[in-house]
Amino acid sequence: MTPPDYSSLSPRDLERLALHINPGGWSVEADRPITTLLGSCVAVCLYDPKLRLGGMNHFLLPSISRSANADIDVILNGDYAMEVLVNALLDKGAQKRRLVAKAFGGGNIVNSIQMAIGDRNAQFAKEWLEREGIPLLASDFGGAWSRKVICVPSSGDAYCRRTPITRPDVAAIVKAEKEYEQSLLKPAKTSRIELF
């Protein structure tokens, strides 16, 4: 089956057709664009040019933390997000040696961030791709803005639109990320177990 040709569509038209993924999400598609909205999170688009197949993930943390929410952290971290995306592509016939990447996000949209999550996410993505031998063809990291990213898995094209943080939808992202960061800064609660 031949993948659809989206070359005549504008990014806005692609966005209307796209599957939206949230933090911790990922998707491998052959016939539909994928989109996500990023703050300090990072999205990596991987593409196999021979198969004309790609996918995108969205992660909030560079690696697994030791917080009280460890089960949630697993699906939100870069280690998991990168492995699951690569494995999903391999399951559909892609070969790791052919994969190329485009990556976006890592904004520093909350001035009070103590953990510099955006910078850490961007650094993690670059280091992970380099370590795995996957060329990073394009990227847009950092800055004081959010991003809307659209990935076209059938062509490997990716579009990134920066958005000022004053918009209401971006304010919601900032609030959610700040609350999550604050939960990570609190010491983990340990339960006391008594043996009898």
Q: Which residues are catalytic?
A: 41
Tokens linked to 61: 């943390």
Coil, strand or helix at 17:
helix
> At a CB cut-off of 8 Å and minimum separation 6, what does 93 contact?
51, 53
CB 23 within 8 A of CB 59: yes
Assign residue 143 a region: left if phi > 0, alpha if psi is -120 to 50, beta otherwise? left
Closest CA to 179 of 39, 80, 75, 37: 39
Residue 112: half-sphere exposure toward Cβ, Cα within 13 Å: 8
Coil, strand or helix at 154:
coil
Q: How many CB atoms lie within 10 A of CB 36?
A: 25
Phi first, then psi: give them for residue 170, nearest 5 degrees. Answer: -70, -35
